[in-house]
Amino acid sequence: MAIESVNPATGERLLSFDALTAGELDGKLARAAQAFASYRHTSYAERAGWLHRAADLLDEEAGELGRLATLEMGKTLASAVAEVHKSAKGCRWYADHGEEMLADEPWPIDGARVFTRYEPLGPVLAVMPWNFPYWQVFRFAAPALMAGNAGLLKHASNVPQCALKIEDVLQRAGFAEGVFQTLLIPSSAVKGVIEDDRVRAVTLTGSEPAGRQVAATAGGAVKPSVLELGGADPFIVMPSADVEEAAKQAVASRMLNNGQSCVNAKRFLLHESIADEFLRHMVARMEALKIGDPMADDTDLGPLSSADAVKTLDQQVRDTVEAGADVLTGGTPLDGPGHFYPPTVLANIPDGSPGHHEEFFGPVALVWRVSSTDEAVRVANDSPFGLSGSAWTTDEAEQEKFVAEVDTGMMYVNKFTESTPEVPFGGTRNSGYGRELAAFGPRSFVNPKTVWVQ
Active site residues: 228, 262
Give yes or no for residue 129 binding ligand NDP (CB under 6 A). yes
112: three-class secondary structure by DSSP: coil
Please state the closest distance from residue 277 (CB atom) to ligand NDP, in A.
Answer: 31
Judged by CB under 6 A, the stretch of 4-12, 42-50, 143-151, 208-216 that binds ligand NDP is 208-216
Judged by CB under 6 A, the stretch of 92-100, 138-146, 185-193, 279-287 that binds ligand NDP is 185-193
How buried is 19 (Cβ within 10 angstroms: 0-12 exposed, 13-18 middle, 19+ buried)?
A: middle
Judged by CB under 6 A, the stretch of 150-158, 163-171, 334-342, 444-452 that binds ligand NDP is 150-158
Give yes or no for residue 124 binding ligand NDP (CB under 6 A). no
Give yes or no for residue 206 binding ligand NDP (CB under 6 A). yes
188: three-class secondary structure by DSSP: helix
Give the up-direction half-sphere exposure of residue 441: CA atoms within 13 A in the CB hemisphere.
34
Q: How far is residue 5 CA from its own chain's centroid?
A: 20
Composition of the chain by helix, strand, coil, percent to 5:
45, 20, 35
Determine which residue in the list 63, 186, 220, 324 makes contact with ligand NDP, applying CB under 6 A: 186
Q: Tally helices (H) and strands (E) across the chain.
A: 15, 20
Give yes or no for residue 127 binding ligand NDP (CB under 6 A). yes
| Bridge partners of residue 348, in order along the sequence | none
DSSP assignment letter at 301: B
- Stretch 351-390 residues interacting with ligand NDP (CB under 6 A): 359, 361
- Helix (H) / strand (E) element for 288: namely helix 275-288
Determine which residue in the list 167, 196, 228, 436 makes contact with ligand NDP, applying CB under 6 A: 228
What does the chain come to in residues?
A: 454
Give yes or no for residue 83 binding ligand NDP (CB under 6 A). no
Which CB atom, from 266 or from 369, has the smaller least distance to ligand NDP?
A: 266
Q: Using an 8 Å Cβ cutoff, are 100 and 177 in contact?
A: no
Q: Return d(Cα 101, Cα 439) in angstroms, integer.
A: 6
Give yes or no for residue 182 binding ligand NDP (CB under 6 A). no
Determine which residue in the list 36, 39, 50, 130 makes contact with ligand NDP, applying CB under 6 A: 130
Which CB atom, from 398 or from 436, has the smaller least distance to ligand NDP?
A: 436
Site residues, ligand NDP (CB under 6 A): 127-131, 154-157, 186-187, 190, 205-207, 210, 213-214, 228-230, 262, 359, 361
